[in-house]
Amino acid sequence: MLVLGIETSCDETSAAVISNGNKILSNVISSQISTHQPYGGVVPEIASRKHLENIIPVISEAMDQADISFKELDAIAVTYGPGLAGALLVGVSAAKALAYSLGKPLIGVNHLDGHIYASFLEHTIQMPLVCLVVSGGHTSLVYMEDHDHRILLGATRDDAAGEVFDKIARKMNLGYPGGPIVEKMALEGQETIDFPRAWLEPNSFDFSFSGLKTSVINYLHKKEQIGEEINVPDIAASFQKAIFEVLITKTIRAAEAKNVKIIVLAGGVAANTYFKNLMTQEAGKKGIKVYYPSPVLCTDNAAMIACAGYYNLLRGKTANLDLNAVPNLQMELEM
C-alpha cells in the first residue's frame, strides 16, 4: 500500500511516500527556517507564500525519489490542522487536487497524530502506551489503548515546551529555532540556577511553562540592569533541567497511573538528546521502555503524516473533497 503524505502546517513544506505504513520511500523536507530567521520566528504570510512556491517541486521530488508514478499511489494523506491557516490551505488544496484528478482516497491527518505515528515508522510498538507530544505548538500527554482508542491525559495550559525554548533563545539573541542551540549551549554549562517548576495540582497531568519562561526572562533583565554578564551555557543548562524534570516526571507518573510499560516521545523537542537520555534512564528505573523517532522524524515531516494516514486508511477514515484547513483542530479522542 503506497501513501503520499503532504505537510505544510508551519514552516516546512514536505512530501513523502511510504509503503505499507512503515517503509519510507522518500521524505522530502524543504525548510523555510532561513527565510524566517531574520524575524526571530515564523511569519505566517511569508510561510504561505513559500509553501505555494515549494509545494509542486517538493511533491515531484518525493515521487521521483520514491520512483513510482502517481497512478500507483493508494491514497493521499494531508495535514489539515492544527497549524497556520494559510499554510495548511496550500497542502490541503494540493492534496485535494491530486486525490480528485487521480480518483484516489483523500485522508485528513491531525498534525499531532502525525507526530505520534512518527515512532511507528521505525519501531514495532505495542500498545497501550503513553505518548508525550512536545513541539513548538503543543505539549500533550496522550494515553493510547490502541489505534482507535485514546485519551488526552493533560496538556499545557499556556506555552508549549518548544515555544519556551524559542522565546528564551530569542531573548538571549541565540537565533531561531531555539531548541537546538539551547541544547548545544547547555552542554558547556552547569545547572547552577534554580528556575521554578510548576507541578500544578497533585495528580494533574497538565503543564504550565509560562512561569518558567518569565523567570528566565526576569533573570536576564536583572543581570542586564546591574550590568552583570550572563553565563549563557549555565542558563541553558539550568533551564533545560527545569523543563525536562517536569516533562519527565509527569510522563512517567502518567505511564504508572495507566499501568503501561511503554512511553513514546514525539515532536521537535523530542530531538533533544539530553531529554531522550534522561527520559530513557528515569523510565528504565521503573521498567518502562521509551521510544522516540530519529531527529529528522521528530520535527515536521510528511513521512509521519503518511504513516498516520495509512492507519486512518486501514480504519476506513477517509475525507471528502470538501476537506478544509482547521487551524485550531483538536485531537480526536475516542474511548
Given the rule CB under 6 A, which residues bind ligand KG4?
10, 135-137, 162-163, 165-166, 177-180, 183, 267-269, 271-272, 299-300
Contact 248, 199 (CB under 8 A): no
Minimal distance in Å, beta carbon 10 to Zn ion? 6
Minimal distance in Å, beta carbon 136 to ligand KG4? 3
Q: Judged by CB, which is closer to ligand KG4: 30, or 318?
A: 30
Minimal distance in Å, beta carbon 42 to ligand KG4? 9
Residue 149 neighbours by CB distance under 10 Å: 13
Q: What is the contact surface with Zn ion in residues (CB under 5 A)? A: 135, 300
Minimal distance in Å, beta carbon 144 to ligand KG4? 18
Residue 282 contact among ligand KG4, Zn ion, none, beta carbon within 5 to 8 Å by kind: none
Residue 95 neighbours by CB distance under 10 Å: 32
Q: Judged by CB, which is closer to ligand KG4: 113, or 183?
A: 183
Give residue for cell 495507566: 258
Residue 180 contact among ligand KG4, Zn ion, none, beta carbon within 5 to 8 Å by kind: ligand KG4
The burial class, CB within 10 Å (0-12 / 13-18 / 19+), for 39 is: exposed
Residue 178 contact among ligand KG4, Zn ion, none, beta carbon within 5 to 8 Å by kind: ligand KG4
Residue 183 contact among Zn ion, ligand KG4, none, beta carbon within 5 to 8 Å by kind: ligand KG4
Residues in Cβ contact with 273 at an 8 Å cutoff, skipping those fewer than 6 apart: 183
Q: Three cell numbers at 138?
A: 503543543
Minimal distance in Å, beta carbon 273 to ligand KG4? 7
What is each CA distance from 150 to 99, 117, 145, 153, in whole angstroms? 29, 13, 6, 9
Query: How do strand 149-155 and strand 139-146 relate by DSSP bridges?
Result: antiparallel
Q: Judged by CB, which is closer to ligand KG4: 86, or 267?
A: 267
Of 82, 74, 67, 81, nearest to 99 (Cα)? Answer: 74
Residue 165 contact among Zn ion, ligand KG4, none, beta carbon within 5 to 8 Å by kind: ligand KG4
Residue 309 contact among Zn ion, ligand KG4, none, beta carbon within 5 to 8 Å by kind: none
Minimal distance in Å, beta carbon 134 to Zn ion? 10
Q: Judged by CB, which is closer to ligand KG4: 48, or 318?
A: 48
Q: Judged by CB, which is closer to ligand KG4: 113, or 300?
A: 300
Q: Judged by CB, which is closer to ligand KG4: 195, or 318?
A: 195
Query: How do strand 139-146 and strand 129-134 relate by DSSP bridges?
Result: antiparallel
Minimal distance in Å, beta carbon 274 to ligand KG4? 8
Q: Judged by CB, which is closer to ligand KG4: 102, or 326?
A: 326
DSSP for 51-106, written as a single string: HHHHHHHHHHHHHHHHT--GGG--EEEEEEESS-HHHHHHHHHHHHHHHHHHT--E
List helix spans (H) across 187-330. Answer: 210-225, 232-257, 273-284, 295-298, 302-314
Minimal distance in Å, beta carbon 135 to Zn ion? 4
Q: Judged by CB, which is closer to Zn ion: 183, or 300?
A: 300
